Structure 1
Amino acid sequence: MAFGKVDTNGLMSAPNTDILPGRVGNLTAEQQHALDEFKDLIKAEGIFVPERHDDHYILRFLRARKFHIPNTHKMFVDCENWRKELQVDTLIDTFVFEEEEAVRNCYPRYYHNIDKAGRPIYIEHVGVIDIKTLFKVTDEERMTKQHVLSYEKLIRDRMPACSKLADRHIEQCCTILDLKGVSLRQFANAFGFIKRTSAIAQNYYPEMMGKMYVINAPMMFTSVWGMVKPLLDEVTVKKIVILGSNYQSTLLQDIDAANLPKVIGGTCECAGGCQTGEPGPWKDPRYMNTVA
């Protein structure tokens, strides 16, 4: 299976200056001190979990709170408490989402290959979401668990596969939200659920969005964006690009056509459909960990 080009720009053997600030390998003295201090703090409190809490993981929380130790500590502890309450660490082994196919039919969302920076591409076709049918075939609790499970598989399986392919640490995604066919009424119906899933991403999986393209955005999206924007932090807002129907050339600057489904301007036509195939390095034995 081909994954298209990874735009290395010298990053295959990158010096510190090629690593984004605030990451392992490119920390200021103050940031390194904050990382060391925070690790000592959570170890002393007995909440440090070596299997999950490597420096990459901890730095995501520190960056999300601008390396402010008290604010990072609150966010981190809140996340650990939430994980215990939801029993996140056992979801992969215990939770089975039998209604996956039925849910895909009314809420299409999937991972599909990688962008030129080596990041997994996540796609949602928001314009065809049927929220009423969605909650006839499942319920909010199960959808939340499936949403969380998707993040856990991203961290445990997809990201490591992408990192192995790129020969450097990959910890963020490129997201595409397709609004083709969306209506204001439809968005209003789905707004509560979107708000809750957005909160999970920001509070418990921070700093995982590298770029987001909102494509086929209708004129009325300006007012909707005014509702969504306050839910997001300023760093996240800067990563979001709003595009109308003429979006293909912009997408192709960051994503090879072969890695984009044909339905949104690429050339990929997976056997059985792109949203069920979910191609990527996580499906290649050379790079995969445990994801099926």
Structure 2
Amino acid sequence: MKEKETIAEGGEQGLPESLLKIAKRELREDKCTREQSLDQLRAWVQKNEDLQNVRCDDTFLLRFLRAKKFSVPMAEQTLLKYLNIRRTFPHMSTKLDFLEPRLGDLIDQGYIFAAPRRDRHGRRVVIINAKGLNPKVHTSCDQAKAHFLTYECLMEEQETQITGLSHVGDFAGVTTAHVTNWNPTEFARIFKWGEQSLPLRHKEIHLINVPSTLKWLIDFVKNRVSSKMKNRLIIYGSEKELLKAMDADCLPEEMGGHMPMREMIELWKQELARKRELILGLDQSMLLSDRGIQRRSSYNSEKSSAGTNFVSQIESIEGSFRKLEFD
């Protein structure tokens, strides 16, 4: 987006006119809707006895409203689920300090980071590099914290709330240990809860260097997400194919882009440093009870059955992968 573009009416958020047009077209957002929805959601947070120390600034509340296209009831539910996942998995979703040695090392190795430049759609591009994670050193908890930290940092950007995220995953160097690093039950829970609880708009997921032995696991996962998400996940046979879909400016030099990955990582660390206190401050927000999360008994029964089956299938996959060797 060009910084010289004028701010449209209702642009008190400091957003350019071109971005506000995207928000209007894709999220049904305009000045009146934004102000009324913010007032309603803020009032709900302030009077909800199950919430404690929850941020009420516009940027924080808008992440939930924009994720649900300004349906206030749905935004309320997503906020409750977001706080609930942090309460249920505190070892993975809290104390997200990039200066902590284990987490800092994972970031420094380039396992996951956001490219400094946005793509042609104005989206931040999240790079996931399997070689940056050594399963003999880092646990699944370290891995999950790196993801939560990345998304918390990006969710603070109003532009990203509107345009969404693109992902590029490089699976070169994946080993059996990468797959079996997770406890199957915990993986199943965090996978299902994360999709429902984090107010993110995942627009595109691009994967390269996927070993043939790993593709059936990806197919397994694809069958358990929404059809919309399934259609946004694409596997490429080469970097040349990837470059036809992704802007080279958003990719590290090692993936066919222009900027060295080391430089991108250092810029990402600077970004994390600027938002460090803001992200750590999120730990003050608490959900005292999950009673406000809407549930339907029949739906939950089916969900529980499906969840149990999901876990058993993950365990079966883990057992199979222990017998595999990657090329």
Query: Normalising TM by the smaller chain, what interval?
Result: 0.5 to 0.7
Equivalent-residue separation in structure 2 for 1:106 and 1:17 (angstroms): 38
How high is the sequence identity, in percent, across the aligned residues?
16
Q: TM-score, normalised by structure 1?
A: 0.65
Partner secondary structure for residue 210 of structure 2: coil
CA change 1:67–1:248 in 2 (3 A) is farther
1:225 aligns with 2:225: no
Q: Which amino acid aligns with 2:101?
A: E
Match of 2:197 in 1: 204
What residue ranges of structure 2 are gaps of 5+ in the alignment?
7-14, 278-327
Match of 2:236 in 1: 243
How many residue pairs match? The answer is: 261
Match of 2:83 in 1: 80
Any idea what the Cα deviations from partners look like across 1:36-60, whole Å, max 9, x if unmatched?
8766655543547422675632324
Greater Rg over alpha carbons, structure: 2
1:112 aligns with 2:101: no
Match of 1:260 in 2: 251
CA change 1:220–1:39 in 2 (3 A) is same
Q: Which amino acid aligns with 2:26?
A: P
| Matched-pair contact (CA < 8 Å) for 2:126–2:167 | yes
What residue ranges of structure 1 are gaps of 5+ in the alignment?
none
Equivalent-residue separation in structure 2 for 1:267 and 1:112 (angstroms): 11
Equivalent-residue separation in structure 1 for 2:133 and 2:21 (angstroms): 42
**After the TM superposition, which of the residue ranges 105-114 and 174-183 deviates more from structure 2?**
105-114
Offset, 1:146: 4.5
Alignment of 1:119-138 (within 5 A): 119-126=123-130, 129-135=133-139
CA change 1:112–1:16 in 2 (3 A) is closer
Q: Which amino acid aligns with 1:172?
A: G
Q: TM-score, normalised by structure 2?
A: 0.59
Alignment of 1:135-284 (within 5 A): 135=139, 140=141, 143-156=143-156, 159=157, 163=159, 170=162, 172-183=164-175, 185-190=176-181, 192=184, 198-199=191-192, 201-245=194-238, 247-255=239-247, 257-269=248-260, 273-274=262-263, 276-278=265-267, 282=271
Equivalent-residue separation in structure 1 for 2:137 and 2:123 (angstroms): 32
Any idea what the Cα deviations from partners look like across 1:230-262, whole Å, max 9, x if unmatched?
4423332232222122x435435442x233211
